[in-house]
Amino acid sequence: MLQRKHSDEYLLALDGAGVQRGGRWLVRGVSFEVRRGEIVTMIGPNGSGKSTSARMAIGLMRPNEGEVMTRAGLRVGYVPQKMAIDRTMPLTVERLMSLTGPLTRKEIDAALTETGARHLAKAEVQNLSGGEFQRALLARAIARKPDLLVLDEPVQGVDFSGEIALYELISDIRNRSGCGVLLISHDLHVVMAATDTVICMNGHVCCRGTPEVVSRSAEYQTLFGGRGSTALAFYSHRHDHTHLPDGRVQHQDGSLTDHCHPEDGHHDHDHHDHDHVHGPDCGCGHDHARLVRPAPGGKGGSDVR
Amino acid sequence: MFDDFFTRALVAGIGIAMTAGPLGCFIIWRRMAYFGDTMAHSALLGVALSLLLDINLIVSVFVVASLVAILLLALQRAGTLSADALLGILSHASLSLGLVLLAFMTWVRVDLVGFLFGDILAVSRSDIDAIWGGGVLVLIALVYLWRPLIASTVSEDIAEAEGLSPKRARLYFMLLLALVIAIAMKIVGILLITSLLIIPAATARRWSSSPETMAVMAALIGAAAVVGGLFGSLRFDTPSGPSIVVAALAIFVVSLIPLSRPAGAASERGPS
C-alpha cells in the first residue's frame, strides 16, 4: 500500500513559510506540498510547529514570510486539535455533521457508519468521550467530500486498536475519494505504514521523505532483527541541535543561535544516518515515547501488538 | 378591556421578545453576556447624543452601541487588558458618560427611569413600527447568517478553514445586537435588555434538542414573559421592564424543576 497513489496535481504548497508572534518565530522555512491522493504526515515534538504549519496551510494563520499557495476553490475538511462547545448549545452528532454545509440524510449516515459513529447520531456532542468525539469530527470532515482532509491529531483519546482502524479508514478514504490528506501526529508507529510522505518538524522542516526509505534502513533491520520490538524504536535521522529552554538553539558544533533556521549554516541536514539504536536505557535524551516505530517491511499496520 | 397604550406595549414587547430570543441564544452559546450588557449600557450615551445632536433616538443608540462593540473588538485584539477588564471599563464608562452628558443639558427634561428600566407608557405607534420593522429585518438577517454563525460558534477554526468567514459573521451579529438594543430600550430599559436576551434563551435550553429549536423556544418563552410581565405591571403598578424580567425569571425557575428528563440531553445518550 505504499505505491504512489497521488497524482501530480498540487492541492497546496508552502514555500519557505514562517509565522512570527511577539517577536518569536513559531516556525520558519516551512516548504512542503500536498498533492491529490497523497497522505502527508507531520511529526515532531510538542511546540515544533506542526499545528502552526497546518494552520498556515489552510489559511487560519497568515505567514509573515514565504508563501502559501492553494488550488483555487479547494474544498477543505478540517478536524482541529481541540475545540470547546459550550454546554448550553444543544448539538447532536447528527446536527454537527451539516455544520458548514447542507448534507443529505444518506451522506450523513454513510459518513457516520464509515467512522463507526452511527450509533452516536442522536447523542449530544458534549456527552461524547474523547474517542467518540474524534470519530464524529472525522465523520463530519469526510461527509463534505473534501479535496483536502486536514487532521490535527485525529486519534487523541482513541484507544490503540481504534487508532489503527482510524488510520486505515483515513487511508481508505484517500483511496476511494482521491483526496489529499495532511495529518498531524506525534505517534508515528501506526500512521507510518499508511503515509506517503513524512515531514519531521522541529521549528522548521528538519527532514522529510518516504517511510519506505526509513523502513529499509539498517537501523530498522537491527531493531527488529535483534532485541524485538516491544519498547524499542528508532529515529530515521538525528537531531543535530537542541532547543534550549530560553528559546535559543545549541548546534552540534557547540554554537548558539537565537533561532533555528535551515539556512543558518549550523545544521547538518544531509547527515541522516543514526548514531545509536534506542533502548529503554540508552540515555540519549530523546523522548522515547515519540520515536518512530515503522511497520515491518512497510506493510500497513501489521506490526501492531 | 385594555387601554390602548397597553395593547401597544404588548405588541411592541412581543415583537422585541421574538427577536431577542434567537439572538440571546448566541449570547449564551458564545459566552457574551457581559459583552451584551456593555453594549446595552452604552445605549444611554446614545440617548444623550440623540438629544444633544437632535437625531433619531434609535439611529443614535444603534450607532453608539455598534461603535462600542467595534471598539471592544479592536481593544481585545490589541491585548493589553483582559476582555473582562475592558468590558468593565467600557460598560460603566459609557453609562456614566451618558448620565453626565444628560446632566449638562439643562434645557432637556428626560425621564431617566424610563430609559433605564423601561416605560410601557412611552410606546408610541411609530415605536411599534420601528420594533416590528427592525425585528423582521433582524430575523431575516439571522436566517441568512445562521450557518456561518452556528459553525463559528462551534468552532471558529472549522468555519474559517471551510470557507464560512466567521469574522464577518461575528461583525454582522454585533450589528444585529446593536439594533435589537436600540429598539428594545423603550420597553425593557437599558439596564435590563441583557436579561431579556439571556433568560429566555437559558430557559429554552432545557426543552431543546437542536440550536434551531432552542432559538424558536427562546422567542416563544420571551413572548410569554412579556405578556406575563406587562399584565403584572398593569395589575401591581410596577415598572414594565423589571416586571418582564421577573416573569422571565419565574419561567426559568419552573424550567429548573425536574418534572421530566430534558429532551435530547442525557436521555439520548448512545452506548459508549
DSSP letter string over B26-85? HHHHTT-HHHHHHHHHTHHHHHHHHHHHT--HHHHHHHHHHHHHHHHHHHHHHTSS-HHH
pLDDT confidence band for A213 (50 / 70 / 90): low
Alpha-carbon gap, residue A180 to A157, rounded angstroms? 24
Alpha-carbon gap, residue A215 to A209, rounded angstroms? 11
Higher pLDDT, B45 or A270: B45
pLDDT confidence band for B252 (50 / 70 / 90): very high
What's the complex ipTM?
Answer: 0.82
**Integer CA distances (angstroms), A294 to A194, A195, A198, A297, B244, in order:** 10, 11, 12, 8, 66
Alpha-carbon gap, residue B272 to B263, rounded angstroms? 20
Picking from A75, A82, A99 by the largest number of B CB atoms within 10 A of its own CB, the best residue to mutate is A99
Residue A57 makes CB contacts below 8 A (sequence gap 6+) with: A12, A14, A34, A68, A70, A150, A182
Point out which residues pair with A189 in neighbouring strands: none
Average per-residue pLDDT for chain B: 88
CA distance B35 to chain A (A): 17
For the residues A79-105, what does the mean pLDDT come to?
Answer: 91
Higher pLDDT, B24 or B123: B24
Point out which residues pair with A243 in neighbouring strands: A249
Q: Identify the H or E element spanning B113.
A: helix B112-117
Our CA dihedral for A177, A44, A186, A52, rounded to 10 degrees, sits at -60
- Residues in chain B with CB shorter than 8 Å from the CB of A91 are 154, 210-211
pLDDT confidence band for B186 (50 / 70 / 90): confident
Alpha-carbon gap, residue A190 to A205, rounded angstroms? 21
CA distance B79 to chain A (A): 12
Could you identify the residue written with the cell 497568515? Answer: A62
Has residue B217 got a pLDDT over 60? yes
pLDDT confidence band for A301 (50 / 70 / 90): very low
For the residues A158-180, what does the mean pLDDT come to?
Answer: 84
**Integer CA distances (angstroms), A85 to A96, A128, A151, in order:** 11, 12, 19
CB contact under 8 A, A101 and B269: no
Q: Is B53 on the interface with A (CB under 8 A)?
A: no
**Which residue of chain B is at minimal alpha-carbon distance from A79?**
B158
For the residues A15-28, what does the mean pLDDT come to?
Answer: 88
Has residue B115 got a pLDDT over 50? yes
**Best CA proximity match to A80, nearest among A102, A101, A43, A52:** A52
**Best CA proximity match to A139, nearest among A106, A116, A171, A105:** A116
Point out which residues pair with A199 in neighbouring strands: A42, A208
pLDDT confidence band for A304 (50 / 70 / 90): very low
Alpha-carbon gap, residue B33 to B25, rounded angstroms? 10
pLDDT tens readout for residues B79-95? 778 888 889 899 999 99
CB contact under 8 A, B161 and A89: no
Q: Is A138 on the interface with B (CB under 8 A)?
A: no
A256-257 β-sheet, strand order: A241-243, A249-251, A256-257
Query: Which ranges constitute the DSSP H helices of chain A?
Result: 50-57, 93-97, 105-114, 130-143, 160-177, 188-191, 211-215, 218-225
Q: Identify the H or E element spanning A20.
A: strand A10-21
CB contact under 8 A, B29 and A83: no
Q: Is B29 on the interface with A (CB under 8 A)?
A: yes
Q: Identify the H or E element spanning B7.
A: helix B4-29
Has residue B63 got a pLDDT over 60? yes
- Residues in chain B with CB shorter than 8 Å from the CB of A73 are none
Q: Is B145 on the interface with A (CB under 8 A)?
A: no
- Residues in chain A with CB shorter than 8 Å from the CB of B211 are 89-91, 95
- Residues in chain A with CB shorter than 8 Å from the CB of B256 are none
Has residue B149 got a pLDDT over 90? yes
Size of interface A-B (CB pairs under 8 A): 96
Could you identify the residue written with the cell 433619531? Answer: B56
**Integer CA distances (angstroms), A109 to A96, A105, B27, B173, in order:** 12, 6, 32, 32
**Best CA proximity match to B214, nearest among B199, B223, B224, B203:** B203
Phi, psi of B179 (to 5 degrees): -65, -45
A37: left (phi over 0), alpha (psi -120 to 50) or beta: left
Alpha-carbon gap, residue A113 to A304, rounded angstroms? 24
Q: Is A86 on the interface with B (CB under 8 A)?
A: yes
Q: Look at strands A241-243 and A205-209 and give their pairing.
A: unpaired
- Is A289 exposed, middle or buried (CB count within 10 Å of its CB: 0-12, 13-18, 19+)? exposed
Picking from B152, B157, B261 by the largest number of A CB atoms within 10 A of its own CB, the best residue to mutate is B157
Q: Is B250 on the interface with A (CB under 8 A)?
A: no
Residue B97 makes CB contacts below 8 A (sequence gap 6+) with: B45, B48
**Best CA proximity match to A272, nearest among A210, A195, A228:** A210
Higher pLDDT, B204 or A164: B204
Residue A235: the pLDDT is 37
pLDDT confidence band for B76 (50 / 70 / 90): confident
Residue A23: the pLDDT is 84
CA distance A122 to chain B (A): 6
A10-21 β-sheet, strand order: A24-35, A10-21, A65-70
Alpha-carbon gap, residue A77 to A58, rounded angstroms? 10
Has residue A223 got a pLDDT over 60? no
Alpha-carbon gap, residue B252 to B199, rounded angstroms? 7
Alpha-carbon gap, residue A116 to A133, rounded angstroms? 11
pLDDT tens readout for residues A30-45? 999 999 999 998 877 7
pLDDT confidence band for B27 (50 / 70 / 90): very high
Residue A293: the pLDDT is 45
For the residues B175-197, what does the mean pLDDT come to?
Answer: 89
pLDDT tens readout for residues A236-279? 444 566 666 565 666 666 677 766 555 555 544 444 344 444 44
Residue A207: the pLDDT is 72
Cβ atoms of A17 and A66 within 8 Å: the answer is yes
